[in-house]
Amino acid sequence: MHVVRPDEPVTGRVVRSELCTHGGAKASGIIRHVEIDVSGTPMAGAFRAGQSFGVVTPGVDEHGKPHKIRLYSISSPTGGEDGSGNIVATTVKRLFHELPDDHRLYTGVTSNHICDLQVGDEILVTGPNGKRFLLPSRPDEHEYVFIATGTGIAPFRGMVRELLGAGPDRRVTLVMGSPYETDLLYHDDFLAMEREHERFTYVAAISREQVGARPREYVDSALRRVAATVAPGLRSGRALVYVCGIAGMELGVLRALADILGDDPAALAHYIECDPGTLASRDAWDRRMIHREIKTTRRIFLEVY
Ligand SMILES: Cc1cc2nc3c(=O)[nH]c(=O)nc-3n(C[C@H](O)[C@H](O)[C@H](O)COP(=O)(O)OP(=O)(O)OC[C@H]3O[C@@H](n4cnc5c(N)ncnc54)[C@H](O)[C@@H]3O)c2cc1C
């Protein structure tokens, strides 16, 4: 971590920037896949899938202070886009909204700075950051359940590529939640990986429109839908569960795990520790109970923002 410290950012160069939404410009959000060349800096070869890095926006904020660093998940495998750790990718959503008082447009500082950059432009980066949301040191010993919403898919793009690229297939399930089909990220890439790797399952959960015969659903219902695929790994305790995306999605995922494993308290205890009364009243769980009455074990990795 922090091979490049926040107060001494290094200069990378944007080498690719493209929309990565399935519907391109038709998507409801603007989300770009951005690749940055960090060769020749200490960042090169120093990052791992699942970590994030900092971006410094030039200029000052409304108080005249330098902009604070914002973090962006690395969406490349550990070897980067090029295999030797020189090109790091991320997945950035432009943030904008109307101010409530005078309905003027507010644009998020750093997300728009990154998305505005053209190929060849310089970008100030720091990091990498994060020491927990990582793949295990012995990846072959595990199966994987990845659950993402929105740009939460970023770390999983890197992790899935890393796992599928390294020898015999491991059972990997990826559930991606999105309001509309047009907003799915890297959709065609994941479909192609699914065709190529028998033990990779990709599930898109669309919450605000019905696609074909599939009902509208959130990631937790999609997880229940693929219970037969994920349950053997979960029951054995071999599976690791990673959750990344909008804050608020954790509860539904934990509840879905409790539903899938609820008849087997020993299996559930691999992932969630809670007393029988709490388990029985899971329909009434709320977010504040996470880490208190509902304790997650080291087999669950949560990164929500
Ligand atoms: C570990 C980690 C990883 C991350 N990874 C990614 C990633 O891969 N991709 C990505 O796009 N982002 C990611 N983020 C989020 C990212 O760091 C920034 O927070 C995000 O891009 C917004 O930054 P900004 O500078 O554009 O917006 P800012 O200028 O910081 O504006 C955000 C501000 O606007 C306010 N705000 C936001 N929405 C509204 C609203 N609707 N109404 C009123 N106020 C509002 C918020 O309170 C906040 O203060 C990650 C965050 C963390 C902590």
| Tens digits of residue pLDDT in 292-302 | 999 999 999 99
Position 247 pLDDT exceeds 90: no
The pLDDT-based confidence of 262 (bands split at 50, 70, 90) is: confident
Whether the CB of 29 sits within 6 Å of ligand 1: no
The dihedral over CA atoms of 91, 156, 146, 238, expressed in degrees to the nearest 10, equals -160
Q: Which of 294, 298, 295, 200 is nearest to 240 (CA)?
A: 298
- Dig out the tokens for 289 from the structure: 């109970």
Whether the CB of 72 sits within 6 Å of ligand 1: yes
Position 29 pLDDT exceeds 90: yes
Whether the CB of 30 sits within 6 Å of ligand 1: no
pLDDT of residue 59: 96
Mean pLDDT for the chain?
95
Could you give all domains of the chain from N- to C-terminal order, each with its CATH number?
10-129 (2.40.30.10), 139-304 (3.40.50.80)
Position 236 pLDDT exceeds 90: yes
CA distance 70 to 78: 21
Report the separation in Å between the CA atom of 54 and the middle of ligand 1, taken as the mean of its atom positions: 13
The pLDDT-based confidence of 213 (bands split at 50, 70, 90) is: confident
Position 169 pLDDT exceeds 80: no
Mean pLDDT, range 237-241, rounded to an integer:
97
Position 190 pLDDT exceeds 90: yes
Determine how β-strand 200-206 pairs with β-strand 172-178. Answer: parallel
DSSP-derived 3-state class of residue 159: helix
Whether the CB of 153 sits within 6 Å of ligand 1: no
CA distance 12 to 38: 5
CA distance 60 to 57: 8
| Tens digits of residue pLDDT in 110-155 | 999 999 999 999 999 999 999 999 999 999 999 999 999 999 999 9
Whether the CB of 70 sits within 6 Å of ligand 1: yes
Position 70 pLDDT exceeds 80: yes
Whether the CB of 149 sits within 6 Å of ligand 1: no
Residue nearest to atom 41 of ligand 1 (CA): 97
Whether the CB of 185 sits within 6 Å of ligand 1: no
- Dig out the tokens for 224 from the structure: 């229940």
**What is the SS3 string spanning 129-154?**
ECCCCCCCCCHHHCEEEEEEEHHHHH
Instruction: Determine the atom of ligand 1 nearest the C-alpha atom of 110.
Output: 25
